[in-house]
Amino acid sequence: MVQPLVLDDWPLAPIRTERLLLRPPEARDREVFLDMGSDPTVNHHLGGGRDRATLEAELPEVPADRPAQFVLEHDGRFVGWMGLGRRDPSRPGGAALEGPFLELSYVMPVAAWGHGYAAEAGAAILVWSDERLGEPVVVCTQAANDRSLALAARLGFTELARFEEFDAEQWFGVRMPG
Ligand SMILES: CC(C)(COP(=O)(O)OP(=O)(O)OC[C@H]1O[C@@H](n2cnc3c(N)ncnc32)[C@H](O)[C@@H]1OP(=O)(O)O)[C@@H](O)C(=O)NCCC(=O)NCCS
């Protein structure tokens, strides 16, 4: 479980990249979060698509309503979510790093894959994280998740460890600030 960050200056003004607007989640994003959470393809390496009715009952009115969570918008359309949180250092991989670190997570609807949106948003979020938080950032993803591994490499993450968790081999990578 990734724990929320505490930031006294959240929400911040949206961040603009070449093609995207990165903004805090809002209630109008809920339907897309439900679609993403129940989609078997999106969740192939995340434990499988969740039952939509269960998700509907569990998801708060504003999904991912906590600091350092970003909705990725392209031309006013939702193309993904990316967020930073605190990974429990006692979980596998944590012992390989000294001091505090952040974990980057990301999910996009299938229609938004293959356009470089995650790479563009991730680069901007990491610049913001370097300036605001200045801590190492880790990514933990199934070793079989080729797209996620390619994205992590594009964003400058390098392998720190591999381990077994959730009945699958996990790739654990780190990117130092700056
Ligand atoms: C992981 C995930 C976000 C990656 O999405 P993605 O679109 O492949 O990632 P990128 O933003 O790096 O895009 C790279 C692709 O866009 C293409 N692309 C097109 N225009 C581009 C541009 N202007 N700049 C960069 N890449 C561009 C690249 O060629 C590449 O295509 P390819 O994979 O067919 O070679 C997405 O697959 C996903 O949501 N998966 C399900 C959730 C998941 O598993 N999350 C991991 C949890 S840690």
Structural domain including 127 reads 2-175
Indicate the SS3 state at residue 173. Answer: strand
Residue with tokens 């929400």: 11
Our count of domains for the chain comes to 1
Torsions phi, psi of 170, nearest 5?
Answer: -110, 140
121-139 pLDDT, tens digit per residue, is 999 999 999 999 999 999 9
Distance from the alpha carbon of residue 108 to the mean position of ligand 1, in angstroms:
9
Distance 68 CA to ligand 1 centre (A): 21
Which of 148, 154, 155 gets mutated to test ligand 1 (max ligand atoms within 8 A of its CB)? 148
In this structure, what CATH number is given to the domain that contains residue 166? 3.40.630.30
Burial 34-48 (b: 16+ CB within 10 A, else e): bbbbbbeebeebbee
pTM assigned to the model: 0.96
pLDDT band at 89 (very low <50, low <70, confident <90, very high): confident
**Could you read off the pLDDT of 90-123 as tens digits, one per residue?**
888 888 888 889 999 999 999 999 999 999 999 9
Query: Measured in angstroms, how far is the CA atom of residue 33 from the centroid of ligand 1?
Result: 18
